Structure 1
Amino acid sequence: MKKKAPSFEQLFIFRHLLKWTILTIPVAAVVGSLVALFLWLLDLATALQWHHQWLLYLLPLAGIIIHFLYQLWGKNAEAGNNLIMDEIHEPGGGVPARMTPLVMITTLITHTFGGSAGREGTAVQMGGSMASLLGKWFRLSKEDTRIILMAGIAAGFGAVFGTPLTGAIFALEVLAIGRIQYNALIPCLMAAVFADIFCSAWGIKHTHYHINTFVTGPNPFTLLQVDFLLLAKIILAGIAFGLSGHLFARLSHYIKEQGNRYITKNKWLLPVIGGCLIIILTLLLNTRDYLGLGVLPSHPGGASITTAFQPAGVSSWSWLWKLLFTAITVGTGFKGGEVTPLFFIGATLGNTLAVMTGAPVDLLAGLGFIAVFAAATNTPLACTLMGVELFGTDYVLYYAIACFTAYYFSGHSGIYPSQRIAISKPGERIDPESY
């Protein structure tokens, strides 16, 4: 029997890990600290909006300011998350460092004046722009630049929600439908974990959600520790979550496309119209529940993500109103992101479906929280893990069923136009783009 030559594979693996540890810790430190600053300022902006409600009437003016800030200094930075994804697909001019202050300032403006937007877009863009800057300083190759950009996405996402494992998988999964980039697995995980550590070190606390035990006794439909009646309700809910994610993505893109189609010269009119629509809807509904992030209620009895986990916490149509408010806000040029509003849409829709079907309210609210996000971003694995990180492991089977079902029923649309199709979903055949 011939002796094999000694393998040095483990040595190369060690060098790879050492290299990316040295590269990702600075990225994580910078991004985690910037996210901490952003979240602190965002709390101040939200409190300011709550205590000075007249600021909502200046939302059209805020939209004009945002527009001209990007016109003067933004250039390609206005593409936001899609620019980062395009640079990962095909490295070119890089992601400008000015994206970080621009997106932070404009997101704070959006929330101060009552726009319905999120925060993940800001965190991801800060992560991508800072990773790109450090990549230039380190003079990385094109392949390493792709990896450090993915690590920047992971760092921003993991830190802003306090979900590092989700952040790592999200960065790997979001680039192309049906494919995960394993060559960036360790860098993304390290970046997300360390960014969350640095963010928490600044004293930032994240909202805690709970799904309480719902098993109340023997059930004739229970077999092998699986309640098949409840399972059927979750599958039906997963379909609804997928359709709502699809609706949000299509509506927000439609508003943006139609706005650019009919307003060809004075583009600043688009956020003015969007701001006016938000004001009109707020007055017609006589509630401010659908402004801002929506994580906590602005007043006792108000609709929010946290109150959606309670049986009578929201109205039957809260999910649809938040969907409309957010699609108008992001579709007309305001900044911030869509993910936290997607959490709101999912949690409130889950609440409504639970009341209709007799399912546990907190369970379906939690499933909607992650599944609508999975549908709109085409990231079912990351969202299943988010359920584990946010709600615990007791219902992981239900997390997976809800997220996977929503993913299939959302079709090939999503909130990120630069997301490619590596493997098409069942149904319509779409030729995958080279990746």
Structure 2
Amino acid sequence: MLLKYKNFFSVLFSWIIFGGIIGIVVGSTTTLLLEINDYLGDDIRAKRDWLIILLPFGGLLIGYIYMNYGKVYLNHTNNDMAKSNNLVIDSVHGKKEVPLRMGPVVYLATFITVLFGGSTGREGAAVQMGGSVASAVNRFFKVNNLDKKILMMSGISAGFGSAFGAPITGAVFGMEMAALGKLKLEAFVPCLMASFVGHYITTAAWGHKHEEFIIQTLPEKSIITFIIIILLSVLFSLISVLYCQLRHGIEKVSENIFKKNHMKRAFVGGILIVLLTWMVGSQDYNGRGLQMLEQSFTEDVPPFAFLAKLVFTAITLGSGFFGGEAIPLFFIGATLGNALHTFIDLPLSFLAALGLIAVFCGGANTPIAAFLLAMEIFDGKGLEYFFVACLVSYLFSGHHGLWPSQQIYEPKSRLYQLVNGDTIENVETRKKRKQ
């Protein structure tokens, strides 16, 4: 009996220590990511519109980096860092390993993308740095195979929690991201530790201030209101599916055309973004788009802003640039909610918030984390509304998502008739073969 409790506290203590180490390092590196992105996007690119012309050449540089330094052979498997978050998910399942250099490489690629005007976010780089740091901890301390997977989840938690100032969300996101229908609660302690430490290192130790999104007014509770929210959530989920399908479609087509030559893919993708920017006549949809995202909570934005951002981001990331997809999904959802305010008699800021959360939920397939994110960034307002929105968006987005490597531990419904343990990528491939 004494030995059992000794082992229990030994494992618990090691998880707390490892989670804390991961949180400290990832919180610091995420602060670096956020501060440099702000500087490159707000202080340099926003004041120099001509930099967009250099985006294709930035793509060439990113392609060169990934073609020459992005593949590492470890444990008899080829680990391609160009798979980005999918490689981190595969490492959680023990299929692949995250190379130590992955974090620095994706940071450099993200900085190049932001500087020259590619449409991207930030959580992808933070999550991949989290995976890189967790991998380093696993190797340095020679962690056993079971705990390796748990610490990889902790790295994801630290990256997401510190990137968005949402430590509770980050803790659950690390466990929920890897598989649909499964939450490995055993990992909760190190994930929570890593996420909270990462968050407080970013905000308290380094003083970084995250964006604020404020819901000014909530609609009155009624059956009609909930029916409207359900219908809107279905629409938001379908928009997330449209983005995911377009983004993955561009990736596959560009890989086939250019025979997986990353330099050519990114160069042509950069040219397309330059042409689209010229056609639109503004750079509102380049970079992270934080200004319009915040504006969508307070005043009207262009009615088709959500569609422009969807196309810009799908081309940017589908052609080989890097960054993250959460901020673009926030933008798409919030601006679509803003546009719908013309037709729906619900508060503007609430519709923007609903779209932000529901589109992210549909794309990420993380309903619990999305709900918690709404509670954290909107100060707990509209609890019932966001709970319903996340549930509906998750169900109606089907087995599509941002990350093809996500495993389907259990289908979202028996109606889908899928095999447990399959991946989103395999499901989508079989659907296309039947068509």
The answer, yes or no, to whether TM exceeds 0.5 is yes
Name whichever of 135-144 and 15-24 sits farther off.
Answer: 15-24
**How do 1:17-416 residues align onto structure 2 when only pairs under 5 Å count?**
17-47=12-42, 48-75=44-71, 76-92=80-96, 94-200=97-203, 201-214=205-218, 226-264=221-259, 266-296=261-291, 304-312=292-300, 314-416=301-403
1:428 partner amino acid: Y
Matches of 1:407 and 1:355 in 2, distance apart? 26
Matches of 1:122 and 1:289 in 2, distance apart? 22
Contact 1:234 1:364 survives alignment (8 Å): no
Q: State the Cα distance separating 1:267 from its structure 2 match.
A: 4.0
Matches of 2:308 and 2:367 in 1, distance apart? 25
Partner of residue 301, structure 1: none
Q: State the Cα distance separating 1:15 from its structure 2 match.
A: 3.0
- Structure 1 residues 10 and 229: CA distance shift in structure 2, 3 A: farther
Q: State the Cα distance separating 1:193 from its structure 2 match.
A: 0.3
Q: State the Cα distance separating 1:408 from its structure 2 match.
A: 1.0
Q: State the Cα distance separating 1:359 from its structure 2 match.
A: 1.2
SS in 2 for 1:268: helix
1:368 partner amino acid: G
Stretches of structure 2 lacking an aligned partner (at least 5 in a row): 72-79, 424-435
Query: RMSD in angstroms over aligned alpha carbons?
Result: 1.6
Aligned counterpart for 1:433 among listed residues 407, 417, 421? 421
Matches of 1:411 and 1:292 in 2, distance apart? 29
Provide, for residues 263-310 of structure 1, a one-character-per-residue CA deviation record: whole Å limited to 9, x for no partner: 2275422111111111111111112110111112xxxxxxx1111112
Contact 2:22 2:134 survives alignment (8 Å): yes
Provide, for residues 241-276 of structure 1, a one-character-per-residue CA deviation record: whole Å limited to 9, x for no partner: 100111111110000011111222754221111111
- Structure 1 residues 214 and 257: CA distance shift in structure 2, 3 A: same
Stretches of structure 1 lacking an aligned partner (at least 5 in a row): 1-5, 216-221, 297-303
SS in 1 for 2:107: helix
Percent of residue pairs identical: 40
Kindly name which structure, 1 or 2, has the bigger radius of gyration based on alpha carbons: 1
Contact 1:159 1:196 survives alignment (8 Å): yes
- Structure 1 residues 96 and 266: CA distance shift in structure 2, 3 A: closer
1:84 partner amino acid: V
- Structure 1 residues 231 and 410: CA distance shift in structure 2, 3 A: same
1:110 partner amino acid: T
Contact 1:91 1:142 survives alignment (8 Å): no
Contact 2:176 2:366 survives alignment (8 Å): yes
TM-score by structure 1 length?
0.92
Q: State the Cα distance separating 1:203 from its structure 2 match.
A: 1.3
Matches of 2:248 and 2:387 in 1, distance apart? 28
Contact 1:172 1:181 survives alignment (8 Å): yes
Matches of 1:434 and 1:428 in 2, distance apart? 13
Matches of 2:417 and 2:237 in 1, distance apart? 19
Q: State the Cα distance separating 1:214 from its structure 2 match.
A: 3.5
- Structure 1 residues 100 and 267: CA distance shift in structure 2, 3 A: closer
Matches of 1:330 and 1:100 in 2, distance apart? 17
Q: State the Cα distance separating 1:12 from its structure 2 match.
A: 4.6
- Structure 1 residues 9 and 394: CA distance shift in structure 2, 3 A: farther
Provide, for residues 27-61 of structure 1, a one-character-per-residue CA deviation record: whole Å limited to 9, x for no partner: 11111000011111111110211011100001000
1:148 partner amino acid: L
Name whichever of 147-156 and 354-363 sits farther off.
Answer: 354-363
Q: State the Cα distance separating 1:91 from its structure 2 match.
A: 5.0
Matches of 2:17 and 2:261 in 1, distance apart? 47
Q: State the Cα distance separating 1:8 from its structure 2 match.
A: 7.3
Q: Which runs of 4+ in 1 moved over 6 A?
A: 6-9
Equivalenced residue count is: 412
Matches of 1:270 and 1:399 in 2, distance apart? 39
Q: State the Cα distance separating 1:24 from its structure 2 match.
A: 1.3
Partner of residue 407, structure 2: 420
1:147 partner amino acid: I
SS in 1 for 2:151: helix
SS in 2 for 1:393: coil
Contact 1:211 1:391 survives alignment (8 Å): yes
1:279 partner amino acid: V
Name whichever of 420-429 and 252-261 sits farther off.
Answer: 420-429
